[in-house]
């Protein structure tokens, strides 16, 4: 499908790529995702034993295929708020002996039919890596050490032999571990002050690294930049835990509010502020402690989430239902453009944001949707994530952008264009967003230093209706379109971006 830009005015912008402006070598963990025992993410999402495509473990293979296409790498599990009430022992051993528990976080019933070992087998199908979270809300150091032993010790101890007896001979060898979840949030079971959490996280991290010094540990940062303790929380927690941990987490969700599309399209400005604030705070603590180490950021929850609307609904209630439909946002073209822009921001800060997890993966604020017994399909947000994960290789380059601005109520004047570039020395990719609601923008990109000679792919996500969505009734209403008129001539790439669009161009 191709596009015509005749009905809109055309502005201009310039992007220059400096081969020496390297942000970082790409770590594939920047393309991670998140599976939580919440709503229909696990049950009737990735796991549905009665589905025609289900394998012997009950996993939907149509969903597995979409996850592989999406290109998600590291998967954070099992939460999220869920983890603060999680007893990992409930989730292993014979399925018919596993207890049914109440999940206080989302007021639903948890059958534990999918647990640690099953989830690892699902990851093997998708080619993804497990990023495990431990419960520091209602449990603590001992439970974390037991889970670590069960998962990672080869054999010869009580818990490792229990794993083997449960049918998993080889250790899971999980390298990245989250020390709790959103412990600053009063909605979190067992939430605590920064001082109390920082001390607990430090002791837990020290003990886990005594068991395996090469683990990578993520300490909880703020649940969002709007939290009243934002910044001070990071400082206090890191003053306790700095030398024991490797990452501090960041969580951020965005949505259009009050019909203010202009501000919504500039949401990545807030993500940039979030990252810069956490980096400055972490480096302040490091300097204060005279440490040579730099703390990395794990942006292990980020997405579009219409939280205001869910708060006004009664979908999270006290009926204690099994796998209820919760947080099933249906995303528009505008949502996908914003998500693509957030990915650009993560890449432009990849020197410090070394890991990220799109929250979540299936059904719950997710790029993939399913119907029980029926189809699985791609949401609009699927496309910028899958294309970026596939095309971004080698090093991230931060380009110089010369473009006009537009006025927003929330962020003041915002640039009309955003962009990032990646290259592996032979191939390159240019990712671009046009935030204008009215104008197509002709962008000239100076790629002369990349040594590229041809355009191998040019796609855009754009539609006359910025609120067009893919639904159960119309699963392919929105998709990628060919971006015509892309010209590479003498080291200059010329492309016209439709209004409210995300685009990707592959060069060879």
Which residues are catalytically annotated? 182, 301
Give every CB contact of residue 497 below 8 A, 6+ residues apart in sequence.
417, 432, 433, 434, 440, 441, 442, 443, 460, 503
Nearest to 419 by CA among 10, 8, 3, 16: 16
- What are the structure tokens assigned to 105, written together? 């976080």
d(CA 405, CA 412): 10
Query: Rounded to whole angstroms, how far apart are CA atoms 72 and 35?
Result: 11
Asked if 442 and 482 touch (Cβ cutoff 8 Å), the reply is no
| 125 burial type by CB count under 10 A (0-12 exposed, 13-18 middle, 19+ buried) | middle
Q: Which residues contact 21 (CB under 8 A, 6 or more apart)?
A: 397, 398, 399, 400
Alpha-carbon distance of 119 to 133, in angstroms, equals 13
**Segment (H or E) for 109:** strand 108-110
* Buried b or exposed e, range 293-307, using 16+ CB within 10 angstroms: eebbbbbbbbbbbbe
- Supply the DSSP string of 34-101, one letter for each residue: E--SSTTSTBTTTB-TTSTTB-TTSBBHHHHHHHHHHT--EEEES-SGGGGG--GGGGSS-GGGPPPE
Residue 225 in contact with residue 234, Cβ under 8 Å?
A: no
- Is residue 26 exposed (0-12), middle (13-18) or buried (19+ Cβ within 10 Å)? middle
**Is residue 71 a contact partner of residue 390, using CB atoms and an 8 Å limit?**
yes
């Amino acid at each position: 499908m191709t596009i015509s830009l005749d009905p809109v005015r055309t502005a201009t912008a310039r992007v220059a790529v400096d081969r020496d402006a390297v942000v970082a070598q790409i770590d594939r963990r920047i393309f991670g995702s998140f599976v939580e025992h919440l709503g229909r993410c696990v049950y009737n999402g990735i796991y549905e034993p009665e589905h025609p495509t289900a394998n012997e473990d009950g996993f939907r293979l149509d969903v597995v295929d979409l996850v592989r296409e999406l290109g998600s790498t590291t998967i954070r599990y099992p939460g999220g708020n869920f983890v603060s009430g999680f007893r990992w022992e409930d989730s292993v051993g014979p399925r018919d002996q596993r207890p049914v528990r109440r999940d206080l976080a989302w007021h639903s019933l948890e059958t534990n039919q999918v647990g640690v070992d099953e989830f690892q087998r699902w990851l093997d199908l998708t080619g993804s890596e497990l990023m495990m979270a431990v419960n520091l809300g209602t449990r603590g150091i001992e439970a974390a050490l037991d889970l670590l032993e069960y998962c990672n010790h080869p054999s010869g101890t009580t818990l490792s032999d229990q794993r083997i007896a449960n049918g998993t001979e080889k250790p899971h060898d999980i390298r990245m571990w989250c020390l709790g979840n959103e412990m600053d949030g009063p909605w979190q079971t067992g939430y605590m002050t920064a001082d109390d959490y920082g001390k607990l996280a430090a002791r837990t991290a020290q003990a886990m690294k005594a068991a395996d010094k090469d683990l990578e540990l993520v300490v909880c940062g703020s649940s969002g930049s709007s939290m009243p303790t934002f910044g001070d929380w990071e400082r206090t927690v890191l003053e306790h835990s700095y030398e024991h941990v490797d990452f501090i987490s960041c969580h951020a969700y965005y949505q259009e509010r009050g019909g203010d599309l202009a501000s919504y399209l500039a949401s990545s400005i807030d993500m940039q502020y979030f990252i810069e604030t956490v980096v400055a705070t972490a480096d302040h603590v490091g300097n204060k402690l005279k440490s040579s180490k730099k703390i990395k950021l794990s942006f292990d929850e980020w997405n579009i989430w219409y939280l205001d609307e869910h708060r006004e609904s009664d979908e999270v209630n006290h009926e204690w239902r099994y796998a209820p439909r919760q947080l099933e946002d249906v995303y528009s073209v505008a949502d996908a453009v914003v998500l693509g822009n957030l990915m650009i921001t993560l890449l432009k800060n990849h020197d410090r944001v070394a890991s990220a997890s799109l929250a979540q993966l299936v059904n719950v604020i997710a790029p993939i949707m399913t119907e029980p017994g029926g189809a699985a399909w791609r949401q609009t947000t699927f496309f910028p994530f899958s294309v970026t994960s596939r095309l971004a290789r080698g090093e991230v380059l931060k380009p110089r952008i010369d473009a006009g601005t537009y006025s927003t109520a929330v962020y003041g004047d915002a640039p009309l264009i955003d962009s990032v570039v990646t290259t592996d020395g032979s191939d390159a990719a240019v990712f671009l967003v046009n935030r204008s609601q009215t104008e197509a923008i002709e962008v000239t990109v100076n790629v002369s230093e990349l040594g590229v000679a041809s355009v191998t792919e040019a796609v855009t996500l754009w539609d006359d209706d910025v609120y067009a969505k893919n639904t159960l009734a119309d699963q392919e209403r929105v998709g990628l379109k060919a971006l015509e008129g892309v010209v590479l001539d003498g080291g200059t790439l010329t492309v016209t971006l439709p209004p409210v669009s995300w685009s990707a161009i592959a060069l060879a």
